[in-house]
Chains A and B, each alone.
Chain A
Amino acid sequence: MSRYLIGRVGQALLVLWGAYSISYFILYLLPGDTLAIMLSASGMEVDSLPPEDLARAQAYYGLDKGIFEQYVSLLWNAVQGDFGQSLSLNRPVNELLVERLPQTLSLAGLAIVLSLIGGIGLAYLTAYVRWQPLKVAMARLPSLGFSVPVFWLGLLLIQVFAFSLGWFPATGSRGFDSLILPAVTLAIPSAAVYAQVLQRGFQGVWQEPYIATAYAKGLSRWQVQARHGFKNAALPILTLIGLQVGNTVSGAVLVETIFARNGVGRLAQEAVLRQDIPVVLAIVAVSAAAFVLVNLIVDLLYPYLDPRIAHTPKVS
């Protein structure tokens, strides 16, 4: 078992390294003139500087080293937690991250919980209902859920619940109240995905012969769905949670912008607007790390939920 663990962790680290490298490639090597971008991010124009200053700027940004050297030093620093300086805000990036991370984590956390409850609940009800018209309508709902642009939905919710009804504040990062609308907005696309997958899962499981065996024992529909249907249909959900981390992070950028929250998402938007390369690189790296970590935990939890993976067959 420990062999499996080491293998998985190794793979996770490999993926993380790959993600960092690709981000580095995109941000440092793709642009035509990295120096010009960095200078403009700091508020200076590359044309207005004399050559000696340019040389000094290059050294300052670490752009005078060779590509490989630069990469290694950046990577080394990153591993130790040092992501450099923000060009536009002139503060260490770590500080910025530490400041803003709690907001985003609380938003994402609540959103994940809400999306699981909403998605699983909807799918469970859809499977239980027998009246065809209602069942079909409920089955279509998830599709609507991921047809909606997250940012538009946020605006709609603000319009209805903040301006018209006045139940929740429209913007801001203070207090639990202000967390509700953003979390709901962020939760809906993920909830739609969970609901869709679980619905399909139930449909598939319902055709399985062991459901007939369960009925033949004398169980009621509710009991069959709960004890035999759900456990088998829900297996893919765990993997999905891991994959949805990426969507949640992406959504957070949009949601925080709309609701004017002070989280890492909005930091990313501002950084891109100002072409603040070190900040963007740091945020992408941290998100990739979060994705890898959550998926690693999911991989390690899976054998506990699906006995076919844990227990090797004794008779082939």
Chain B
Amino acid sequence: MNAESRIALLSHSPASLSLGWQRRSRLRRAVTALLPLLRRPGFSLALLIVLFALVSALLPGLLSSFDPYATSPADKLTAPNLVHWFGTDELGRDLYTRVVYGSSLSVQAALLAVGIALVGGLGLGVLSGFAGGRIDAVIMRFVDVLLALPGLLLALAIVTAIGFGTIPVAIAVGVGIIPGFARTTRAEVLRVKTLPYVEAARLGGASWGRTLLRHILPNAWGPVAVLATLDFGAAILATAGLSFLGFGAAPPAAEWGTLIANGRHFLITAPWVSLLPGLFVVAVVFSLNHIARTLEENPR
């Protein structure tokens, strides 16, 4: 056997196979886990709807050619047809366009609310669960107090104090969601903290910092991510509720809640003005809930 064929043989030998082993990156693992989910029709549909909402929040112009503020009294209160997919409102504005443009305000408000809740709630929850003892007790009392104030009323109080508009509404809703995040995070941190592999890591010499970052947080993340998705939907509903009551952005801004409130007056003659935007909201929130539940049932 000459040198070349021997080298060729070596490259297939078990020894070189072991040298050739490499770690699969985390990203690749996540992607391979996600793909089978996409094959489910329900999940894909829900994802599509949510993506639609996100696109309409960021680039509404892509999805509609009409101007949301252009009034056209001649077309007022027409029922849904091929030109105006959702019909028109009392000023002749195309309702579908207003819903799409309203996305940006409502979705942005919901994102801000969830962001505030995540930062506040996660921070409190991790601190509470990890530190334990007195700090835990104090933080949990604080969370109890926040819980005692009903979400909408707390939001109403905040809006009374700092004024109406999209941002105050978002802040108000965000603060109201903090208790849920804090409690869930704390429960997960407590659960993971006592698991054998955390103890094993500590016995292997890991510092508390390393244990927290590499073991506790990644394993506690699951239910929090599910809750974040669910609360994103809840935030949309809450901000819509507040703008329905009249505390959101001033007209002619097209927040979803305002649209629905507007249509109240024409409920008998033109029910689509209120009902169709609402149906859109239901679709988006339901899709978010479906995604959250699918993620929950399929832990990666």
A binds B: yes
- What 1/0 mask marks residues of chain B from 145 to 164 whose CB sits below 8 Å from any chain A CB? 11111111110111111100
- When distances are taken between beta carbons in the complex, the residues of chain A under 8 Å from B76 are none
Cα-based distance from A163 to B290 in the complex (angstroms): 33
Cα-based distance from A26 to B156 in the complex (angstroms): 10
Cα-based distance from A291 to B245 in the complex (angstroms): 23
Give the shortest distance, in Å, between B258 (CB) and chain A (any CB). Answer: 12
- What 1/0 mask marks residues of chain A from 119 to 131 whose CB sits below 8 Å from any chain B CB? 0000000000000
- When distances are taken between beta carbons in the complex, the residues of chain B under 8 Å from A288 are 148-150
- When distances are taken between beta carbons in the complex, the residues of chain A under 8 Å from B264 are 155, 258
Which single member of A22, A143, A247, A258 contacts B293 (CB below 8 Å)?
A: A143
Q: Name B's interface SS.
A: helix
Q: Which residue of B lies closest to A19 (CB)?
A: B148
Q: A23-B157, A155-B278, A284-B154 are in contact. Are A246 and B147 (CB under 8 A)?
A: yes
* B153 and A253 contact, CB distance less than 8 A: yes
Which single member of A146, A147, A163, A283 contacts B153 (CB below 8 Å)?
A: A283
* B153 and A284 contact, CB distance less than 8 A: yes
- When distances are taken between beta carbons in the complex, the residues of chain A under 8 Å from B275 are 152, 155-156, 159
Give the shortest distance, in Å, between B50 (CB) and chain A (any CB). Answer: 12
Q: A30-B158, A163-B267, A280-B157 are in contact. Are A246 and B282 (CB under 8 A)?
A: no
* A257 and B245 contact, CB distance less than 8 A: yes
Cα-based distance from A66 to B158 in the complex (angstroms): 22
- When distances are taken between beta carbons in the complex, the residues of chain A under 8 Å from B268 are 163
Cα-based distance from A155 to B272 in the complex (angstroms): 11
- When distances are taken between beta carbons in the complex, the residues of chain B under 8 Å from A250 are 150-153
Cα-based distance from A55 to B158 in the complex (angstroms): 26
* A287 and B161 contact, CB distance less than 8 A: no
* A18 and B145 contact, CB distance less than 8 A: yes
Cα-based distance from A37 to B281 in the complex (angstroms): 34
Which single member of A147, A258, A273 contacts B282 (CB below 8 Å)?
A: A147
Which range contains the number of A residues in contact with the other chain? 35 or more
Select the residue from A16, A146, A163, A271 with max chain B CB neighbours within 10 A: A146
- When distances are taken between beta carbons in the complex, the residues of chain A under 8 Å from B288 are 147
* B289 and A159 contact, CB distance less than 8 A: no
Which single member of A31, A147, A151 contacts B244 (CB below 8 Å)?
A: A151
- When distances are taken between beta carbons in the complex, the residues of chain B under 8 Å from A149 are 237, 240-241, 244, 257, 260, 278, 281-282
* A253 and B149 contact, CB distance less than 8 A: no
Q: Which residue of A lies closest to B277 (CB)?
A: A152
* A292 and B245 contact, CB distance less than 8 A: no
Give the shortest distance, in Å, between A172 (CB) and chain B (any CB). Answer: 15
Cα-based distance from A19 to B148 in the complex (angstroms): 7
Give the shortest distance, in Å, between A66 (CB) and chain B (any CB). Answer: 20
Give the shortest distance, in Å, between B290 (CB) and chain A (any CB). Answer: 7
Cα-based distance from A271 to B162 in the complex (angstroms): 15
* A15 and B148 contact, CB distance less than 8 A: yes
Q: Which residue of B lies closest to A23 (CB)?
A: B157
Does chain B have a CB within 8 A of A103?
no
Give the shortest distance, in Å, between B41 (CB) and chain A (any CB). Answer: 13
Does chain A have a CB within 8 A of B61?
no
Within 8 A of B (CB), among A280-306: 280-281, 283-284, 287-288, 291-292
- What 1/0 mask marks residues of chain B from 258 to 283 whose CB sits below 8 Å from any chain A CB? 00110110011001001100100110
B interface, CB within 8 angstroms of A: 141-142, 144-154, 156-162, 233-234, 237, 240-241, 244-247, 257, 260-261, 263-264, 267-268, 271, 274-275, 278, 281-282, 285-286, 288-290, 293
New contact pairs (14) apart from A18-B144, A143-B289, CB-CB < 8 Å = A15-B145, A19-B145, A22-B145, A26-B158, A143-B286, A147-B237, A149-B260, A155-B264, A159-B275, A163-B268, A253-B156, A257-B245, A269-B156, A275-B160
A interface, CB within 8 angstroms of B: 14-16, 18-19, 22-23, 26-27, 30-31, 37, 143-144, 146-152, 155-156, 158-159, 163, 243, 245-247, 249-251, 253-254, 257-258, 268-269, 271-273, 275, 277, 280-281, 283-284, 287-288, 291-292
A sample of 18 inter-chain contacts (CB < 8 A) reads: A15-B141, A19-B145, A147-B289, A149-B240, A149-B257, A152-B260, A152-B278, A152-B281, A158-B267, A159-B267, A159-B275, A246-B150, A254-B245, A258-B264, A271-B160, A272-B160, A283-B153, A284-B157
